Each structure stands twice: as structure tokens, then as C-alpha cells.
Chain A
Amino acid sequence: MDLELSEEQALLQESFADFFAKESPPERVRAAEPLGFDQALWDRLVAMGATTIAVPEDLGGGGSGTLDLALVAHEAGRHLASVPFVDAAAAADLLAACGAADLVAAVVAGALPTLALRAPRQGRCRLVPAGAVADIVIVLDGPDLVALRRSGGSARPYLPSPPNLASSPVADLDLGAGGYERIPLASGDEARRLHEQALTEWKLLMAAALDGVRRAALDIAVDYVKARKAFGVQIGWFQAIQHRLADVAVAGDGAHLLVCEAAWALEAGEPNAAELASMAYLFLTDLAFWTCRESLQFHGGYGYTLEYDIQLYFRRAKAWPLALGDPRREYQRLAARLFPDAP
């Protein structure tokens, strides 16, 4: 057991914390709405190799592990970075796992990859995360895992993004639409296994990003209740507020450790890595929103205004994890894994 980050990881975390604090302050997040994509920020991340840090070195990536990715996802979430970091990182690692060297090279050079989490229906992938801005979309289409690669360039968004709660660049994608080259990656059991593995990584990275969201929401709440006065005292003096913040802080500390454990397990190839990623995703799905909700509530009427930052977190905490579907379905999948139904 070792609960401390290595020196390199601590440095990585610190540098990305500084980077996002500078490059993704609330004004930039607001300015990127409603599309929710900040081209300049994306270009900087590509230049830093951030989304491909876990891609093997011989494919042009950083050759590091899942925990490093999770640390970056945490900081991106904490600052609500208007880039699809989680989707792009999971998709990049999937392309690498498929051995698709050309596509990985394109990603290293700046192409934005994403992953359709859910299967297409009647030739259509509904609300693909980052679908409006992605150059490469990976889809499990029946028995085939395929990459749809945009041919020809135009300015982003490439596809219209419907107005949505999180201001995310989601878009519907027609598999038969022109302008995309269809590149097969794998088929059959291998396709399903690779897609499942990418979903596991996506869940973990989403959990890490949500861990950043809940941490920021807690910090915002603590600062606010220390500053705001009512009845002649700072409202953070009231036990009704203190105890509720203590509850989300304690759950938050546990959540952070759970995310780290799940990232470590994926990196180390532990047999229960998929269960832990699912646990982290579900736990943070609950907790990030719970924390944001408490934080917003303690803002009083200001929490309901668009002027205060907490609403930016509140909307995303609820919306982001829903890309995978109703969390209750994930509980069912987790239960099946944890408690095999032996006859």
C-alpha cells in the first residue's frame, strides 16, 4: 500500500493544475458556451501530448499509464475545460489497442478522436460525445468496430450540436452520411472486447473528471459559506451547513481514493479493474452532483443565477455521466459482475 503519488506524478498533477487554472478560468468556460469547445485550449493540449500520454511510445504517445491520464482528467474536470478530454483519451487508447498506427499518428498530430458509447440504432448514433467536433469517431456497428474518419476539412463544429444542459459538443451521427471514411478496426468477439475495454477506461476517466468537479464545487461552497454573512455571522458557522459539507467532504476523500485505486488497477491489469472502474463511475456520478447541489443550495438565491460559477458545475455534474445512459443500468451490470449468478 502506498497512497502517495510518485514524484513525477505529483509534478504532472501540479503542472496540469496550473495549466487549466490559467487556460480554463470561468470566463473562458463561459465564452466557449453554448458549443462547449475551446479550439485554442485543444490546440495547446495537443501540443503538450496530453490526450495521448498513455499511448505507447512506439506509436508516438507518451508511454505512461492510466493513473497519469486520470490525474489530467481530474484537473480538466476541476476547471470544466471546454475540451472533450475524457472521450478523446479513451478513444486514442482504443485506437492504440487496435494497432491502428495511421489513425494514432493522426491523433498525435492533432486529430480529435471520440468514442460512440452506445450502439447505433437504424444507422444512427444519437448524441455522440464530442461528435460535433471529432475528426475520428469509433463505433461498434453490429459485429464490427470501425473508425469513421472525416475526410476534408472545414471549421468546427463539423456537425450541428443541439442545445444541451452541459453545453457539450454532442452531435447525432449518421453512419451512412458522406464525408466520412469507414476504417475497420476489429470484428466479432475481439471488437466487443476492445469496445468494452474502452468503455471501462471511459468510465474511469469520467469518474476522475467528476472527482475534479466535486472537488471544485466543495471548494466553492467552503469559500462561499466563510464569506457570506446572515443573522450577523458567517453562514459557515451553522451546523446545518457544516455537517452537510462534512458529509460531502468525507465521501469526496473516499471517492478520490476509489478513483486512484481503479486507475491503479487498470494500469496494473488487476482482475477486478473493470468492477472498480464501474464503481468509481457510479459513485462519482452520485457524489459530484450531490456536492454541486449542496454547494448551490448554500449560495441561496445567488446559486440560482447564471452569474455565479456553481451553476456551471451543477449542470455538467448531472449531464456528463448521462452520456452512458441511465446509471441504474450500470448498477445492474456491476451487480452481475460482482455477484455471478451461479445456478
Chain B
Amino acid sequence: MDFTVPADRLAAFREDARSWVDAHLPELATWAEEQRVTGNYHTPELHRRLAEAGWLGAGWPKEYGGTDNSVEMAQAIQQEIAAAGVHSDGWATTLIVINTLRHVGTEEQKHEFIGGALRGEVIIVLGYTEPDSGSDVAAAKTRATRDGDEWVIDGQKMFTSTAHLSTHAFVLTRTNPDAPKHKGLTTFLVRLDAPGVDIQPVWTLGGQRTNATFYTGVRTPDRWRVGEVDGGWRVMHVALVYERGGGEGRPSGPSLPERLARWAQQAVREDGTRVWDDPSVRERLARIAIDAEVSRMLGFRAGWAAQHDDLSGIGGAAAKLWGTERGQRHAWDMLDILGPEAVLKRESGDAPLDAAVEEAFRYGVVSTIYGGSSEIMREIVAERQLGLPRARPKV
């Protein structure tokens, strides 16, 4: 066994990436603030510049529009952007879809959508979840009915974040309501400016704007069908693998608990005592540090499993369950430690730690829900690791 922290794979590229970002994206800080205020986690101007410089196409096959740009440099640039507090959700969902197309798309689809995406012209949002189905994604009710060379789509999708800034949606539909649940699904690409598409904003606790997307008699050509008719579940298997891919970050400064400890060592309460002199504060921070170390270990194991062709999904489920459940508790505890000032928002101007804890508290809420809720993760562990019987009724 060896727990040496892996060397920074991108170390050689960081300086150049920083220089490129400084020279070509001087507005990053403005965009970060703009995203925070508007809740739009996609900045079209940023996306356009990355495409134009060839960074989006790095590593992709030439025939579909790939560029000669260095993949590592492209990753280092994306990490610099993320570290500046700018989200790239539009690109994240587009990547899931074009990676899926690479496996299961037609040649025509690969040229049209991968090419368009790498040029920055095509931005694709995910359309799986519905008002009546989230974790049970295969229960989708949105209908697609064939009409000659076209399909007509009727239904509603939830949490289609960035739909209002995207060109297409990747939509999971029901094409055969008489077949068993998983055998009557088909996936399509649909233009979001097609007649019959209506996008309504949904506001979230974390501040991000997401959408409810309504489809009424929306037409999409058969050549934009992804996979076989009624073969949508196989396509989803590929797409969900790309959704659960773990992200790595840039080596960063002090962690939030470390910053909070520094704050506690300086802050004085109304009775004149230092916050840090309260043993319960110290204990809570020590507990947070232990949980975070366990989280780091489970994350390593998930990565290790993936590298060793373990497709059981147990490692990823364990890492997600532990990391997100504990991560939320940590935000609750850290708010408590900050006391009355914890509630201050960044706009107040004098929030402790620039409201980082208040924001982490709100952003973290969704972490135990999206990408498979904690209950689904527990089910995976109970069935696949502990060998317990399937508890859900088979419908």
C-alpha cells in the first residue's frame, strides 16, 4: 500500500494556463459575480472564446472537429476558470451528450453535433428528469410519436438547467407505453427554439436558475433519434456513466475548515472569550477534519476501482454518499460555530469568511439529491456490496 498524494498531473501546464487566462479572459471575476447574481451557470462569451481558441476541441478526433490544442493545457485552463468561481455547466452537459454520441450516435450525428459543440455553436442540456420522476429516471412519461420522418414530442422535463442558454436538449421519451418500463424508451435531440418548446425558470436555494421545459407538439427529425427506437435505456447507461465521472480540481489554498479555524482563533464573543477557547468549537472542527480525510480515502478508492475496471458502482456510491451527507453536516456545524453572523450574505459587506459558509450551506443542499440521491446510493451498497435482497417492488 502507498498513500503518497499523486503528483499534480498538470503541474507543467499551470503557469501557461494562468498566463493564457490572464491575457484572454480578463473578465473572469466579473463573470463570476454575474453568475452568482443571475444564477446562470453558463457564460456565452466565455464559451465562444474557448471554442475560438480551439480549447473545446482539444483531444477530440479531427474528423469531428477536434483541434491540435494540448488536452492537458485545456484541462488546466478549465480548472483556472473554475477556481475563479465561474461555472461551465453548459459545457459540462454538452460533454456528457457528445461523449454519449461518440459511442452510440450515427456518423451524421457525430459530425453535426460533436462538430457543432466543439465550435461552440451547439450547447446541449439534459432532459431526463420529469415532475413525476427523478431517481426513477426510467419512469419518464414524455411521449414521442412517429409521424413520417419526424417524431412529435409532448411532455415536460424538470431541472433542465441552462436550457434558456442552450441550443438543444437531449430528451428521454416514452415511445412504447405498452412495453415494460425500461423497454419503451427512446432518446432524441431536440432544438430548443422549435415551435412548441416553452422554458420557464425555476429558482433554487443555492442561487442557480434551473428550468421547467414544456414540449407541446414539438417536432424533431428521425435522424436526430439517438440509438434504436425503444432502445433508450441502453443509451442512458452510457450517458449516466459520463454523468458520474469525478472531477478533479486545481491544487488550492486553505480548506474552509482551516479558514474557519483561523477565524475562530481571532474572533471574540460578546462575553470577551475567543471562539477558539470553546472546546466544542475545536471538537467540531476536528470531527470535520476526520470526516474529510475519510472522504478523501473513499474518493481515492472510487478512482482506484475505475482504473481497475471495477464497474460495480460500489466505490462511487460510497464516496458520493459519505462525501455529500457529511459535507452537508459540516456546513451546518460551521454555521453554528459562526454564531449570529453566520446568517450574513455576501451582499451584507461584512459577512465572516465572505459568506463562504452561508453559500456552502445553500449550495450543498442539492448534493445529496442530484446524480442519484443518498437513498439510491444506500440501495446500491445494500444490494451489491452486502448482498441484501432487492427491497423495491419490481414494476
Residues of A within 8 A of B (CB): 1-6, 9, 67, 222, 225-226, 234, 236-239, 242-243, 245-247, 249-251, 253-255, 257-258, 260-261, 264-265, 276, 279, 282-283, 328, 331-332, 334-336, 338-339, 341-342
Q: Contact between A253 and B318 (Cβ–Cβ < 8 Å)?
A: yes
**Dominant secondary structure at the B interface:** helix
Q: Contact between A222 and B388 (Cβ–Cβ < 8 Å)?
A: yes
Q: Contact between B1 and A5 (Cβ–Cβ < 8 Å)?
A: yes
Q: Contact between A251 and B293 (Cβ–Cβ < 8 Å)?
A: no
- B382 touches which one: A243, A255, A335, A341 (CB < 8 A)? A243
Q: Contact between B285 and A242 (Cβ–Cβ < 8 Å)?
A: no
Tell me the residues in window 3-59 of chain B with beta carbons closer than 8 Å to chain A beta carbons.
3-6
Q: Contact between A243 and B1 (Cβ–Cβ < 8 Å)?
A: no
Q: Contact between B375 and A254 (Cβ–Cβ < 8 Å)?
A: no
Residues of the B chain whose Cβ atoms lie less than 8 Å from the Cβ of A334: 286, 289-290
The verdict on A335 contacting B318 (CB below 8 Å), with A222-B388, A255-B294, A261-B297 known, is: no
Q: Contact between B389 and A3 (Cβ–Cβ < 8 Å)?
A: no
Q: Contact between B282 and A251 (Cβ–Cβ < 8 Å)?
A: no
Q: Contact between B1 and A264 (Cβ–Cβ < 8 Å)?
A: yes
Residues of the A chain whose Cβ atoms lie less than 8 Å from the Cβ of B261: 338-339
Given A237-B391, A257-B297, output 5 extra A-B contacts at Cβ < 8 Å. Answer: A242-B378, A242-B386, A247-B321, A254-B295, A335-B285
Number of interface residues of B (CB under 8 A): 44
**Dominant secondary structure at the A interface:** helix
Q: Contact between A279 and B289 (Cβ–Cβ < 8 Å)?
A: yes
Say how far B8's CB is from chain A's closest CB, in angstroms. Answer: 13
Q: Contact between B294 and A254 (Cβ–Cβ < 8 Å)?
A: yes
Tell me the residues in window 356-395 of chain B with beta carbons closer than 8 Å to chain A beta carbons.
375, 377-379, 381-383, 385-389, 391
CA distance A71 to B381 in the complex (A): 25
Q: Contact between A222 and B386 (Cβ–Cβ < 8 Å)?
A: yes
Q: Answer yes or no: B301 CB below 8 A from chain A CBs.
A: yes
Q: Contact between B276 and A331 (Cβ–Cβ < 8 Å)?
A: no
Residues of the B chain whose Cβ atoms lie less than 8 Å from the Cβ of A264: 1-3
Say how far B191's CB is from chain A's closest CB, in angstroms. Answer: 42
Q: Contact between A251 and B378 (Cβ–Cβ < 8 Å)?
A: no
The verdict on A332 contacting B276 (CB below 8 Å), with A1-B3, A3-B300, A254-B295 known, is: no
CA distance A247 to B290 in the complex (A): 17
Residue of B nearest to A244 (CB): B378
Q: Contact between A250 and B322 (Cβ–Cβ < 8 Å)?
A: yes
Residues of the A chain whose Cβ atoms lie less than 8 Å from the Cβ of B389: 226, 234, 236-237
